Amino acid sequence: MRDDMGENVLIELSLEFGIKIVRLYEYLCDNKKEFIMSKQLLRSGTSIGANINEANYAVSKADFINKMQIALKETAETEYWLRLLAKAGYIGNEYGKIRESCLSIKRMLIATLNTSKSSPKATP
């Protein structure tokens, strides 16, 4: 299990991001009557934090890296849905901060993965 400061920050950022995604999902359903893409966004956007949290209880370094890579893939998918919803006119510039939060988490995940992959073999 990882217990350094960077991982705690990543857990908190992904939790806050998940809350933003839930609120955006509610907005899209209630105000825009958009249910298909918003459901995909909800699934991928909340999965990021779930996988980061799960990685902190990994049984091995390989398990940790695997969970973090899944979280990274979910950020890419979430970024796609945000871009698609914006280009389709469902969300406007006011949601740019949500996309920026996603990209911030993505950069932190990449840094964490690079560090984990280059460090000596040890249990996370």
Question: pLDDT by residue (tens digit) across 72-114?
Answer: 999 999 999 999 999 999 999 768 899 999 999 999 999 999 9
Q: What is the pLDDT of residue 119?
A: 83
Lowest mean pLDDT among 3-12, 20-29, 92-101, 114-123: 3-12
| 48 has pLDDT over 80 | yes
Burial of 37 (0-12, 13-18, 19+ CB in 10 A): middle
Give yes or no for residue 28 having a pLDDT over 70.
yes
pLDDT of residue 2: 44
Q: What is the CATH class of 5-116?
A: mainly alpha
The reported pLDDT for the residue numbered 6 is: 58
The pTM (predicted TM-score) of the whole model is 0.89
How many whole angstroms from its chain centre is CA 13?
9
Average pLDDT over residues 28-38: 97
DSSP character for 120? P
* 37 token code pair: 């893409």
**Domain residue ranges in the chain:** 5-116
